[in-house]
Amino acid sequence: MPPIWAQLIGKILTRVNIHYRVCE
């Protein structure tokens, strides 16, 4: 399993990507 911090970073990046897509 990946480290917890890696999972958190992945979730944040996913949310940011979705946010930017919605804004565009």
Dump pLDDT digits (tens) for 1-24.
679 999 999 999 999 998 888 777
State the pLDDT at residue 1.
65
Distance, C-alpha 15 to centroid of its chain: 5
**What letter does residue 16 receive in the DSSP assignment?**
H
Please give the Cα distance from 24 to 22 (Å, whole number).
5
State the pLDDT at residue 7.
95
Residues 6, 12, 10, 16, Cα dihedral to 10°: -150
* Token pair recorded at residue 24: 């565009």
What residues contact residue 1 under an 8 Å CB cut-off, 6+ apart?
none
